Structure 1
Amino acid sequence: MARTSVVTQAIVQDGMSPVLTAPTADGDVIDTGRVFLEVVNAGASPQTATVITPLTVDGLEVEDLVVTVPAGGAARVGPISRKLFGQLVGSPDAGRAYVNYSSVADLTRGVFSLP
C-alpha cells in the first residue's frame, strides 16, 4: 500500500465543516505552505504524528517534527513549511510533506489551509 494523498480543505470566512478521515498505515502526503494538520486521537493511549524532513545540513540530517497526540485529545501542527518539510525535487511528491503515525488505530486527521 502507498502513502495516501490528503485533500487540503480551505478555511473560508463564512465557515466550513471540517472533514476528518482515518490515515493509512503507510502514512500521508500533504500540502505545504499556509496549512496545518489536525490529528484527533479517540483512543486511550497517546500516539504520535511525525512530519518527515528530507533535509541535511553539512551532512547531518535535520530532525523530523514529532508531535504527541494525547489520549482522547487532538493536536494541530503547522504551518507545514515547504522549505523544511517539502520532498525534494525529483520525488514524485516534490514540495509536499510526508507524515507518519505511530499507529492509525483510533486516529482521524485533516489538512486545512488559510487564505
Structure 2
Amino acid sequence: MARAPQTTQEIPFAGLAVNMTGPTVDGDIVDAGNGAMLVVNNGSGASINVTILNPSTQEGLAVGNRVVAVAAGATKHIPVTRQFKQPSDASVGPNQALVDYSAVASVTRAVIRNGAS
C-alpha cells in the first residue's frame, strides 16, 4: 500500500467537528504551510512517534526530521510548516509533506487549517 494523501479540513467560524481516520502503515501525504496542522490521537497503550520527513539540506547536509512523541491516550496538534514541503519535482507528494507513524493500531489523525481568517 502506498502513502495516502489526506484532505485538509478547513475550520470555519462556526467551528469544526474534526473527522479523524486511521493512517496507513506506509504513512501520509499532507499539506504543509499556511497554518496546516496534523492532529494525532493515540488510543493505543503505548507511546508512538510521528515523524515529518524533512527534505531540506543546509550546506550539503541533511536537516533532521521532526519527530513528535504522542503518549498513550493522548492527542497532539503538530504544526506542519512549509519547510517540510517536498520539492515540486518529487515523485511522491510534490509540494506536500510526508508523515510516518511508528505504529498505526488504535491511532487516528486529521489535517486541519483555520479557514476562518
Q: Which TM class, normalised by the smaller chain length?
A: over 0.9
Q: CA deviation at 1:16?
A: 1.6
- Divergent runs of 4+, >3 A: none
Q: What is the letter of the counterpart of residue 114 of structure 1?
A: N
Q: What is the letter of the counterpart of residue 40 of structure 2?
A: V
Task: Give 1:74's aligned residue.
Answer: 75
Q: How far does the alpha carbon of each residue in 1:51-88 deviate from its partner, in whole angstroms, 9 at most, with x for none?
A: 0011111111101000000001111100x222x10001
Q: What is the letter of the counterpart of residue 88 of structure 2?
A: V
Give the count of matched residue pairs.
113
Q: CA deviation at 1:94?
A: 1.6
Counterpart CA distance in 2 for 1:74 and 1:109 is 9
Q: CA deviation at 1:37?
A: 0.2
Percentage of matched positions with identical amino acids: 36
Task: Give 1:56's aligned residue.
Answer: 57
Q: CA deviation at 1:89?
A: 2.1
Matched residue SS, 1:112: strand
Q: What is the letter of the counterpart of residue 88 of structure 1?
A: P
Q: How far does the alpha carbon of each residue in 1:18-45 deviate from its partner, in whole angstroms, 9 at most, with x for none?
A: 1000000000000012110000001110
Q: What is the letter of the counterpart of residue 75 of structure 1?
A: K
Task: Give 2:90's aligned residue.
Answer: 91
Q: What is the letter of the counterpart of residue 60 of structure 1?
A: L
Residues 1-115 of structure 1 aligned to structure 2 (within 5 Å): 1-33=1-33, 34-78=35-79, 80-82=80-82, 84-92=83-91, 93-115=93-115
Q: What is the letter of the counterpart of residue 67 of structure 1?
A: V
Counterpart CA distance in 1 for 2:66 and 2:77 is 13
Counterpart CA distance in 1 for 2:6 and 2:60 is 31
Q: CA deviation at 1:91?
A: 1.2
Q: CA deviation at 1:4?
A: 0.3
In structure 1, runs of 5+ residues without a counterpart are none
Counterpart CA distance in 2 for 1:6 and 1:104 is 15
Alpha-carbon RMSD across the aligned residues, in angstroms, is: 0.9
